[in-house]
Structure 1
Amino acid sequence: MSKHICTRWAFDLGSWRPTLPQLTQAVASVQPEERVRLMKFHFIDDFLSSLIGRLLMRKYVSTCSGLPAHQVKFARDVRGKPYWMREDYEGPPLSFNVSHQGSLVLLAGITGEESDPDFGIGTDVMKIEYSGGKSLSEFFRLMKGKFSAQEWSYIGRPQQDEREQIKAFMRHWCLKEAYVKELGVGITVDLEKISFSVDTTSCLDSKVSPLIGTSLRCHGEAMENWHFEEHLLQEEDYCAAIAFRNCLPMVHGRFQFLRVEDILLPSPESQLEEVISYCEKALLKPYKRS
């Protein structure tokens, strides 16, 4: 299996309270139909998470293709998954995916060659916490059908404290999400039949992140064409997973945190009255966090 260049970007929303000029510059860079989607969010946190995801996608495609950012256009497939409208572009194929939870927004992308077989990438991020109200044992009981017996034997290890059990649960959930996101089917498959054996060569911590020894079995069959990375981010408050289908990264690297200056793109539309008015309305949305 050939190896390719993998990009891993992260953005910390906790570090950014947008000014009106910054927000107009950001909003002007996304397509009008996406602005309609964004405005439907009640909280500005969700608005900004989705907005940053779109900007990361645009920056990634522009960087890899060499096309000016304003020429990069996206559409959504029948499942709502964004894809790049390549049109007449003859360069290497790309696969990319974004994910966000809490204050983090991630993008993972990989380049291919024209001769490559079908390949793809999926990513997911989860905050390592449980705030469901029920006891952890009751929560695990309700989620029983989402994991295989082998996965539960690892998640519920009695010698581990609750924090470690929650971490193990989130690791597995992250892996499943990354896998089904690359497939483009969402969590509609029988998750109990998707069984991960997480890398136990070392404890997943910030010193060894990422771990790369995780393997997958579907309906008991080893999925040799899939490879995975597991990451810890933000002082080990978040876990993240990347799923590689029919491809391998040249280097198993860490996520690079970008600043807002790295992803804001100049656009003449940022001075349009309708864009300024749109952003003024968006800035009135409440924050979830303090």
Structure 2
Amino acid sequence: MNKHICTRWAFDLSTWTPTLPQLTHAVSVIQPEERTRLMKFHFIDDFLSSLIGRLLMRKFVSTCSGEPYHQVHFERDARGKPYWVQQGQGEGQKLKGTTNALSFNVSHQGSLVLLAGIRGNKDDPEFGIGTDVMKIEYNGGKSLAEFFRLMQSKFSPQEWSYIGRPQHNEGAQLKAFMRHWCLKEAYVKELGVGITVDLQKISFAVDTTHPLEEAVSPLCATTLRCNGTPMTQWHFEEHLLSHKYCAAIAFRNCLPHDNAKFEFVRFEDLIEQSKASAEQPDVVAYCKQALLKPQKRHS
């Protein structure tokens, strides 16, 4: 299996309170149809998470391909998944996910937004990447035991045996649950089929060489079986980004050339390549409207 250059970026929204000029700059970079999508979010938290995701994608493609930042263009496939459209591509030449030997995926939850991307060679076999991030907490109205009872059908017996080990207290069980859920999400996001597959038949054996802690993250020995068959074309990383967030990356038909941690980037890093443009009154008005959106109530 060929090794590929992997990018792992994370953005912490809790470190950024956007000013109107910053937001105007960021919104002017994304495509008009994306602005329409963003404005549909009720909460400013979701609006900003999605906006940062768009900027991470643009920076990744521009950095890897050399295409000017302001010329990077995305479209969506039938499932709504963004993909990069190279200049000069015809309708029949749009290769979703691995165009020009690039594959990338974005995920966000809570205050974190992640991008995982892979760059390979044009003559590589088809490869892909999926990522997911989960906050290690439970705020549902039911008890954790009742939540687990309802969710058990989404896991294989082997997975559930690990999650519910008697030596695990509730905190350890919740962490084990989120690790497995994160892996499943990363896997199906790369498949592009969403949570429509039978998750009980997707069985992960998590890396137990070390506890999942920031100091040893990522763990890379996790394996997958589907319907009992080892999926040897897949490779996985498990990351602990803080004591509150775990993340997973699923690599299909490729291996990262290193096992690095996620790099936290700043807002300035995401717009440094963009061309500063004169303020557009419609964009300023759009951003003022966005800043009026309410924030989520965090417990």
Q: Tell me whether the two structures share a fold, i.e. TM-score over 0.5.
A: yes
5+ residue gaps, structure 1? none
Mapping for residues 138-217 of structure 1, pairs under 5 Å: 138-217=146-225
The ranges of structure 1 where at least 4 consecutive aligned residues each deviate by more than 6 angstroms after the TM superposition are none
1:143 is paired with a residue whose SS is helix
> Quick check: 1:230 aligned with 2:238?
yes
Q: Which residue of 1 aligns with 2:102?
A: 94
In structure 2, what is the equivalent of residue 242 of structure 1?
249
Query: 1:74-126: per-residue Cα shift (whole Å, max 9, x none)?
Result: 0000000000002437x941000000000000000001111111100000000
1:113 to 112, 121, 134: 121
- 1:5 partner SS: strand
SS of aligned partner of 1:288:
coil
Which runs of no fewer than 5 residues in structure 2 stay unpaired? 90-98
Q: What letter corresponds to residue 192 of structure 1 in structure 2?
A: Q
For the structure 1 residues 183 and 270, does the alpha-carbon distance in structure 2 shift closer, same or farther, using more than 3 Å as the test?
farther
Q: CA RMSD in A?
A: 1.4
CA shift in 2, pair 1:289/1:15, >3 Å: farther
State the match for 2:10 in structure 1. Answer: 10
Conserved 8 A contact 1:11-1:259: yes
- Secondary structure of 2:34 counterpart: helix
Tell me the SS of whatever aligns to 2:29.
Answer: coil
Give distance in 2, aligned partners of 1:252 and 1:40: 37
2:92 — aligned with what?
none
Q: TM-score with structure 1 length normalisation?
A: 0.97
The match for 1:256 is: 263
Report Cα offsets for 1:31-55 as digits up to 9, x if no partner: 0000000000010000000000000
Residue 84 (structure 2) pairs with residue 74 (structure 1): no
Give the AA of the match of 1:264: I
The answer to whether structure 1 residue 128 and structure 2 residue 150 are counterparts is: no
Q: Say if 1:28 and 1:270, in contact at 8 Å, map to a contact too.
A: no
Q: Is the Cα–Cα contact under 8 Å of residues 28 and 267 in structure 1 kept in the other structure?
A: no
1:126-185 deviation digits (Å, cap 9, x = unpaired)? 000011121111111101210000000000111111010000000000000000000000
Please give the alpha-carbon distance, in whole angstroms, between the structure 2 residues aligned to 1:114 and 1:249: 16
Number of aligned residues: 289
CA contact (8 A) 1:195 1:217 kept: yes
Q: Distance in 1 between matches of 2:38 and 2:277?
A: 17
Structure 1 residue 270 displacement after superposition: 5.5
| Paired-residue identity, % | 72
